[in-house]
Amino acid sequence: MSTTPATSAPHVRSYPAGLGWVPVWRRNLLFWRKLAPASMLANLGEPILYLLALGYGLGALVGGVGGIPYQVFLASGFICSSAMMTATFEATYSAYTRMAAQHTWDAMISTPLGVGDVVRGEIAWATTKSLMSATGVMVVGAAIGAVRGWQALLAIPAAALTGLCFSAIALVVTTIARSYDSFLYYTTLVMTPMFLLSGVFFPLAQMPEAIQRLATVLPLTHAVALVRPLVIGGSVEAPLLHVAVLLGYAATASALAARLARRRMLV
Amino acid sequence: MNARPAPDSLPPAADAANPVPALEARGLRKRYGEQTVVDGVDMQVARGECWGLLGPNGAGKTTFLRMVLGRTPPTEGSLRVLGLPVPEASAATRARIGLVPQLDTLDPDFTVVENLRVYAGYFGIRAREAHALIADLLAFANLEAKADAPISTLSGGMKRRLSLARALVNTPDLLVLDEPTTGLDPQARQLLWQRLRMLKSRGMSLVLTTHYMEEAARLCDRVTVMDRGRFLDTDTPARLVARHVEPQVVEVHGIDALEWHGAGGADAADRVEVVGDTVLCYLRDERPILDALRDRPGLEYLHRPANLEDVFLRLTGRDLRDA
């Protein structure tokens, strides 16, 4: 900022424009490091349980989906739902704790950081965590033969985009939440239907017409449509459309979250 | 305990080398709907000055501070902090402000030293530079032995000292403290006051809110009495006392005090205030009343010089202890 006079404290340097989110992200990373072993165990343990139990248990009943074994079908969808769930929990319960219970956001905006920096840092952090859990699913999926080919590596940025999208949406909910109970509405009314109706567990094609139409507006549907072919080895139909939908949700929700957070914090 | 400078020798402090005021508010007003919380206040705080904002809960002190920090957009008026317009340039001003908030916002996910390190990161201070700085701050806050302790194990006084240390990581030009000693025991309060005087002697500008008269009188060059959103008067503590109240006070309390007053016992006083079951007699000459009280063994009384609390009572008509 050109109007900024030199501070009397030479060690204070302002972050380059647009990078104010970095220290917020780093704060969350530093805390995560204290619990990293448990966190990584969960990142690998949960997909192992799901993929083994559902993949082999349910897979024995349904056989395959469109010619591929069920656990292969499930693993590719589970990469997306796992990114979604991790992003959602981090950007709701954990972020709300920092905002409302611990007053961590208050402390941050007493420094040169602005509310927008805090919002972007929280979104970046929840995205990072979702990336870790999606990668965990990918590793477990590879171990059970559900990852077919190197193009599957492209599913990692796609999962990150999924995480970004759901982090931003969840943070919108956080900025208007009145208590932890508010998140029950969001998880029950939005997350659970999305989890079940986006093609993670079964192909959308077998659902009623109305549900298929509803599913086209759900971001998780687009995430699955993007990630599944990459993981099981196939061509992605209309990749730009899916990326654009996820980016559109992410950009809109980020802007809205920043606006709502300002309204909440700067009164 | 350091002796206080003779109050009357203290003009509004000014740092001749730095003519840009620490704080300059003109016609500053904050409304929430129909409610006016800060009602058109004017103030100028010089560099190196310690200014205290004194008032009961709900007077508008915290809202005023939030405006200074760029946390609350004013409804009307102009505000410059360290020469820059706020809230427009508040990110730049916050780089040069240290804040000790009323409620601790220490990060419970980290230890004492990690709190300082992470907070320094918010100011863009590199880890290498922060290292030496943090060692100094721990010593200043008397927390060296607690460097690796979790926040939850600290006492109230330690937490407040850590909040102060944290507020100093950016070597601020202006330190803002919102009720810094509320809830602290007398020893913890004395230690914090001593540290604040140390900072003031280094030329740091201090703005603090308090509802402790003693705190304002001990620390502040100038004090403003605030009530219902208005700044009622501003001056050195001694001049405020001299201007608004008689120099001597006899406090009469006990079950018979009101009856004694009703029967004309306090008629010799220049002015009388009744607060709860206490009759406050303000006078230039206390002897007649003290003589009369000696003949009333059922009454308890205390003779003391007038202080800021009396100024407050006079200006607001409100009992601060009830506020």
B9 vs B15: CA distance, rounded Å: 16
Which of B108-112, B248-252, B293-297 is predicted with the least confidence, judged by mean pLDDT?
Answer: B293-297
CB neighbours of B38 closer than 8 A, spacing ≥ 6?
B28, B29, B30, B60, B63, B64, B67, B74, B229
CB neighbours of B253 closer than 8 A, spacing ≥ 6?
B277, B278, B279, B299, B300, B301, B302
A90 vs A230: CA distance, rounded Å: 26
CB neighbours of A87 closer than 8 A, spacing ≥ 6?
A126, A127, A129, A130, A162, A163, A164, A165, A166, A167, A170
Buried b (16+ CB within 10 A) or exposed e, A10-25: ebbebbeeeebbbbbb
Residue of B nearest to A265 (CA): B71
Report chain A's terminal Cα–Cα distance, integer Å: 24
Q: Is a pLDDT exceeding 70 seen at residue B8?
A: no
Looking at beta carbons, which residues of chain B come within 8 Å of A11?
125-126, 129-130, 133, 171
Residue of B nearest to A22 (CA): B122
- Answer whether A102 sits within 8 Å of B171, measured CB to CB: no
The more confidently predicted of residues A95 and B58 is A95
Among A219, A117, A214, A209, CA closest to A163: A219
Ranges of each domain in chain B: 7-240, 246-305
The pLDDT tens digits of the residues spanning B156-202 come to 999 999 999 999 999 999 999 999 998 899 999 999 999 999 999 99
Q: What single DSSP character describes residue B208?
A: E
What's the complex ipTM? Answer: 0.91
The pLDDT value recorded for residue A11 is 66
A55 vs A74: CA distance, rounded Å: 7
The pLDDT value recorded for residue A52 is 87
* pLDDT band, very low/low/confident/very high, at A12 (cuts 50, 70, 90): confident
The pLDDT value recorded for residue A206 is 87
- Answer whether B84 sits within 8 Å of A12, measured CB to CB: no
The pLDDT value recorded for residue B320 is 53
In the CATH scheme, what is the homologous superfamily, with its name and number, of domain B7-240? P-loop containing nucleotide triphosphate hydrolases (3.40.50.300)
Looking at beta carbons, which residues of chain B come within 8 Å of A9?
96, 170-172
SS3 B31: strand
Q: Beta B205-210 vs B248-253: how paired, if at all? A: unpaired
* pLDDT band, very low/low/confident/very high, at A10 (cuts 50, 70, 90): low
At the topology level of CATH, where does B246-305 sit? Alpha-Beta Plaits (3.30.70)
B98 vs B177: CA distance, rounded Å: 8
Q: What single DSSP character describes residue A15?
A: P
- Answer whether B103 sits within 8 Å of A103, measured CB to CB: yes
Mean pLDDT score across all residues of chain A: 92
- Answer whether A111 sits within 8 Å of B170, measured CB to CB: yes
- Answer whether A109 sits within 8 Å of B71, measured CB to CB: yes
- Answer whether B114 sits within 8 Å of A30, measured CB to CB: yes
The pLDDT tens digits of the residues spanning A114-163 come to 999 999 999 999 999 999 999 999 999 999 999 998 999 999 999 999 99
- Answer whether A4 sits within 8 Å of B123, measured CB to CB: no
The pLDDT tens digits of the residues spanning B37-61 come to 999 999 999 999 999 999 888 899 9
Q: Is a pLDDT exceeding 90 seen at residue B10?
A: no
Q: Is a pLDDT exceeding 80 seen at residue B323?
A: no
CA angle at A85 for the pair A80 and A86, rounded to the nearest 5°: 100
Looking at beta carbons, which residues of chain A come within 8 Å of B119?
107, 111
- Answer whether B72 sits within 8 Å of A267, measured CB to CB: yes
Residue of B nearest to A115 (CA): B71
Ranges of each domain in chain A: 21-29+36-265
B115 vs B127: CA distance, rounded Å: 13
Q: Write the residue in B84, B99, B118 that is nearest to A110 by C-beta.
A: B99
